[in-house]
Amino acid sequence: MSNPIEHLNKIFDSRIRLGIMSALMVNAEVNFNDLKDLMQATDGNLASHLKGLEESGYIKVQKGFIGRKTNTLYSVTKAGDKAFKEHLIALEKMIQSTK
């Protein structure tokens, strides 16, 4: 018997990280402010979670400018895509197994 929990990705434990990944899965790229709006998170909190995801290689960061304002765009990497889908399957299995 395999333990379903082993497939649950620790990195996606936080609500904000889960939210970031969800938004990036359905959009080619999302900028910092739109993520902030979606998650209703503070700048610092969101930035630290984004950093965490970037360090795990799940998201890509692209810094740019619109006029003088910085515009940072985030997108999901192949590894992130795979990890998130596995996490979703694991979540589903967990729910089914306890029904």
Partner 1 sequence: MNENISHLESLKDIKSIMERSSRFITLSGKSGIAAGIIGLFSAFIAYQIISKYYKNYNYIGVWKTSDFKALEQQLFLLAATTLVLALSFGFYFTWQKAKIDNTNIWNASSKRLLVNLCIPLIAGGIFIIGMLANNEWQFIGPACLIFYGLALINGSKYTYDDIRYLGYLEILLGSINLFYIGFGLYFWALGFGVLHIIYGIIMWHKYDRKNEAISSK
Residues that bind partner 1 (CB under 8 A): 15, 18-19, 22-23, 25-27, 30-31, 33-34, 37-40, 88, 91-92, 94-95, 98
Contacts of the segment 64-68: beta carbons below 8 A, 24+ positions apart: none
Least separation, in Å, of the C-beta of 9 and partner 1? 11
Q: Say how far apart CA 78 and CA 11 lie, in whole Å.
A: 16
Least separation, in Å, of the C-beta of 51 and partner 1? 19
Q: Say how far apart CA 33 and CA 43 lie, in whole Å.
A: 9
Least separation, in Å, of the C-beta of 4 and partner 1? 10
CB closer to partner 1 out of 22 and 77: 22
59: Cβ–Cβ under 8 A, 6 or more apart, which residues? Answer: 20, 21, 24, 50, 53, 74, 75, 76, 77, 80
CB closer to partner 1 out of 3 and 98: 98
Least separation, in Å, of the C-beta of 24 and partner 1? 8
CB closer to partner 1 out of 22 and 72: 22
Centre a 10 Å sphere on the Cβ of residue 21 and count the other Cβ atoms it contains: 22
